[in-house]
Amino acid sequence: MSRAYSDNDNNFTLLRLVLALMVVVGHFKLLSGTTHPAFPFNLADAAVDCFFVVSGFLIALSYERSRDLWAFYARRVFRLYPMYVCVVVIQTGTMLTLLPGGPSSELHSTVRYLAANLLLANFLQYDIGGVLNGLRNPGINPSLWTLKIEIGFYLIVPLICWMTRRWGWWTLTVIFAGSVAYNVLALHWGGVSMARQLPGQLQFFVAGIALSMRRQPMRVHPLLVVAIVVAFLAAWTFIVPIPPGVRPLAVAAFIYSVALSRPAIRPRRDLSYSVYLVHGPLLQTLIVLGLFHDNLLFMAAVIAAVVGFSAISERLVERPGIAFGQRFSRLMRRRPLGVGARIA
């Protein structure tokens, strides 16, 4: 280990883009109902697990650097919500054009869909007027379920950080064990969907927080990084399912080895969030219109379209939202002392 971690001395931006593209590739097969060959189309779940560990790492650091609790929340909201709202509105318009009776034929369903999804409760209504009935996944955007988990984690991360400062590593150990226990019990009782909710996913976020406490970059030989990546991909291909508790540790080892190794490759633009949100509606629309083709050339065209749309949305939606959140958080920090102070 050598010098301390800095924002420009990591591979997180590149890694998140690769993870988002892994989700796109996985959904290309999953949403269309085709399952062969398995690799590399079986890695969407692994990519989501990695995203949760990365969030634990980066959000814990963001909070620890924040001097105001409400300013921290403001930056998080304006980082995620503008692009989220944009996608929800666009996918609503897309479904309205697909309604057999015309855009105004399902007014009540449209209002209910918008209300539920704008409040991150997409599980209450996945589409409008059953326009996607018959699809393998009847939701216009199968990626949205993770957003409510992310927001839930943002809400509790100040408490977790405060407890960790007060009681040390034992706090993370207890939360990790409790999350694994919940996950195991939920799976045992057949509640797969419940196992995927925040109590069960905290094991990944906590693993990321633990990494943030030991965040120095490493000098790892490129061949060793390649070996770690191959081992990670092989584990998710041949060891199914990876047991709860072991799974987040394997993900954390992968993240630590790749994201904090040198040399650091840092793209100038972060398209990962837009790629993650945009690809689902595009794929589902192509499928419902009968335009989907299960071949590599078509998949390459879909990926190119997703990246193109994401570059536009990152420039026009994400970047202004982030800038506004930063300005707003600075205004909040100028309030009288004691209002919105950090948990200490």
In tens, the pLDDT along 102-128 reads 888 889 999 999 999 999 988 888 889
CB proximity list for 263: less than 8 A, separation 6 or greater: none
Question: Among the ranges 100-114, 181-195, 216-230, which has the highest mean pLDDT value?
Answer: 100-114
Whether residue 311 is predicted with pLDDT greater than 80 in this model: the reply is yes
- Is 175's pLDDT higher than 70? yes
* Confidence grade of residue 344 (pLDDT, cut at 50, 70, 90): very low
Helix residue spans in 31-134 (DSSP H): 44-65, 69-98, 107-118
Instruction: Return the structure tokens found at 186.
Output: 């939920």
Name the one residue in this structure whose structure tokens are 């996944």: 137
Residues with Cβ < 8 Å from 113, sequence gap 6 or more?
92, 95, 125, 127, 128
Residue % of the chain over a pLDDT of 70 = 91
pLDDT greater at residue 50 or residue 68: 50
Any idea which of 129-143, 200-214, 283-297 has the lowest mean pLDDT?
Answer: 129-143
pLDDT band, very low/low/confident/very high, at 266 (cuts 50, 70, 90): confident
Confidence (pLDDT) at 287: 93
Within 13 Å, how many C-alpha atoms sit on residue 161's CB side? 25
Residue that wins the pLDDT comparison between 155 and 221: 155
Q: Which DSSP string corresponds to 92-114?
A: HHHHHHH-TT-TTTTHHHHHHHH
pLDDT interval class at 158 (50, 70, 90): very high
Cβ neighbours for 27, distance < 8 A, ≥ 6 positions apart:
44, 142, 143, 279, 280, 283
Q: Which residues pair with 261 in a beta bridge?
A: 218
What pairs with residue 218 in β-bridges? 261
Q: Which residue has the tokens 């071949």?
A: 295
| Average predicted confidence (pLDDT) for the chain | 87
- Say yes or no to pLDDT of 62 above 70: yes
* Coil vs helix vs strand at 85: helix
3-state SS, residue 290:
coil
Quote the pLDDT of residue 337: 45
Least confident of 7-11, 49-53, 94-98: 7-11
- Give residue-wise pLDDT tens across range 78-108: 999 999 999 999 999 999 999 988 888 889 9
| Burial of 6 from C-beta contacts in 10 A (0-12 / 13-18 / 19+) | exposed
Over residues 271-298, mean pLDDT: 94
Q: Minimum mean pLDDT among 75-79, 137-141, 201-205, 278-282: which range?
A: 137-141
Return the higher-pLDDT residue of 286 and 337: 286
pLDDT (0 to 100) of residue 6: 58
Q: Looking at the predicted structure, is the pLDDT value of residue 301 above 90?
A: yes
* Statement: residue 165 has pLDDT above 70: yes
pLDDT at 336 over 80: no
- Angle, helix 44-65 to helix 198-212, in steps of 10 degrees: 60
What integer is the mean pLDDT of 242-262? 86
Residue whose token pair is 């190119």: 304
